[in-house]
Amino acid sequence: MTNPIRIALCVLCGVVLCAVALTAHQPANPEHIEKLKSTNQCPDCNLREAALGGLELENAQLQNADLSGAVLYGANLRGADLTGAILNDADLEMADLTGAIGATLGAAKTDDRTQCPDGSAGPCK
């Protein structure tokens, strides 16, 4: 005979795991994208997988923003504050990051057309 409490616990665990999985990979919040475009500021924003290529984001305030998988191809991020920003798999090819602060680019995609924060040509480390 199956223990009803054990079954209930298994079902509950499954529901919790599904909820965690769904919230862990939510795409960009459209309101956050609009906020960034209109104010050049979006600290703590969810910009996962956002299409931000070619945008003028000079001196943008993006502290602790989640930019995982975002497309920033050709974006101007000169002087942007990327302290604590998550840039895993972000496409920063041909982007200008000259003078950007706090950027951890090891897991981002950069190429020889990318301007690194120190002003050197990419790929950036």
The sign of the torsion formed by the CA atoms of 104, 108, 111, 115 equals negative
Is the peptide bond between 123 and the residue preceding it cis, with omega within 30 degrees of 0? Answer: yes
Report yes or no on 98 lying in a domain. yes
Report yes or no on 19 lying in a domain. no
Structural domain count, the chain: 1
Full-model pTM: 0.77
Report yes or no on 92 lying in a domain. yes
Report yes or no on 125 lying in a domain. yes
The CA angle 58-68-51, to the nearest 5 degrees, is 60
The per-residue pLDDT for range 5-51, each reduced to its tens digit, is 776 665 665 555 444 444 455 788 889 999 999 999 999 999 999 99
The per-residue pLDDT for range 55-98, each reduced to its tens digit, is 999 999 999 999 999 999 999 999 999 999 999 999 999 999 99
**Would you state the pLDDT for residue 21?**
44
Mean pLDDT of 97-104: 94
Report yes or no on 12 lying in a domain. no
Domain of residue 104, CATH code:
2.160.20.80
What is the distance of C-alpha 20 from the center of its chain?
A: 19
